[in-house]
Amino acid sequence: MSETAFTFAQRVSRLKPSMIRELMKLMGRPGLVSLGGGLPSAASFPAEALRAAAQCVLSQAPREALQYATTEGLPALREWVAERLRQRGLAVQATQVLITSGSQQGLDLVAKLLLEKGAKVAVESPTYLGALQAFAPYEADAVEVACDEAGPLPESLHEVAGARALYLLPNFQNPTGRCIPDERRIAIANQAKKQGLALIEDDPYGDLWFDQAPPPPVAAHWPEGTVYLGSFSKILAPGLRLGYAVAPAPVYDLLVNAKQAADLHSGTFAQHLVIELLRTGMLDTHLGEVRAQYCLGRDAMAQALHSYMRDLATWQVPQGGMFFWLTLAPKIDAAALLPQAIEQGVSFVPGVAFFATRPMHHSIRLSFVTEPADRIEQGVAALAQVIRRALATQSGQAQ
């Protein structure tokens, strides 16, 4: 007798667990300093404002908030998103906005429309692990675009000719923290337009700037060839699971159909909560507080890295977002160090997880928003000890 009655599709073999999701299982370990998972600080969640919004929604519109809704999302929320993006330089109408269950669903929906077996999707090097996971089940081949500290090199897009799309995180990228300068954005958009290369612009971190807001979206320079994804996870709370996709008309209609087949619509109650919250005008004040808090974490990690690891790694100090990207000595295998680091009470994400084809084994991603400043220093100090011990061991073996 067969052990199972289920016959799985071939694409199931492409479904792999996320290293970050697996690390989250360790988050409850007593004393562990979490520099690994990219979790927003729970201290930044506007719990009291959400509680007041929930009371208001349930007293004034309980039937609407608890009922099924249209696939596209609440009109008021879609209009708010459109107006916000217009302020950032992207000409968009509410009729182009689709409310999604987090921007991760937006990635899945776009992949469902564009990708299939044998198709190519171009990505940055390195890129967001969750995007690679979203693309994988559709059996496309991810190909890397050459990058420098300012992002993808526009002239390198010729090397991915024939790809269905280029996936970008222009603002404080996960994992590197880099922000693509305005002139580079324009050049990327112009080159993509010339090649007929669609763009998927993922922007969950654009509001988390510290000193200066980022330039207008890449989509502003080629709106008819770009799907733009945003999220409320990093600016309000990830548990709401609300994001949005903005697309030109032909793509938009297909995205709506794909979402309808997936989950009918995003949570109605969560949408009502968010729009009630936004009506109060609290968001900009709240964002200012979040930025100030995250900037303190950034500064604490920059200082700790300088104190404990300036001879062990190289890095750039990010101007926003949530992450530092460290390059270690080439002979270091960061993934092999992770169990030792956890034993010493600190977690991180090995950089190898963020590459599609050419992994960089001696790289590490660190998050500076989950832990307070004193624990950030504690974690960096512990990680430095683990790296020094590994280097000493290798030196001894070489002798």
Render pLDDT for 292-331 as a digit per residue (tens, 0 to 9): 999 999 999 999 999 999 999 999 999 999 999 999 999 9
Task: Evaluate if residue 30 carries a pLDDT over 80.
Answer: no
Confidence of residue 1 (pLDDT cuts 50, 70, 90): very low
The per-residue pLDDT for range 362-377, each reduced to its tens digit, is 999 999 999 999 999 9
Instruction: Compute the residue count for the chain.
Output: 399
Instruction: State percent of the chain over pLDDT 90.
Output: 89
Q: What is the CATH number of domain 12-45+284-398?
A: 3.90.1150.10
pLDDT bucket at 7, cuts 50 / 70 / 90: confident
Q: Domain-by-domain residue ranges, the chain?
A: 12-45+284-398, 47-279
pLDDT at 136: 94
Mean pLDDT taken over the chain = 93
Q: What is the pLDDT of residue 20?
A: 59
Yes or no: domain 47-279 corresponds to CATH 3.40.640.10: yes
Instruction: Report the predicted TM-score, pTM, of the whole model to 2 decimal places.
Output: 0.94
In this prediction, residues 185-209 reach a mean pLDDT of 97
Question: Using one digit for the tens of pLDDT, what is the confidence trace for 136-160?
Answer: 999 999 999 999 999 999 999 999 9
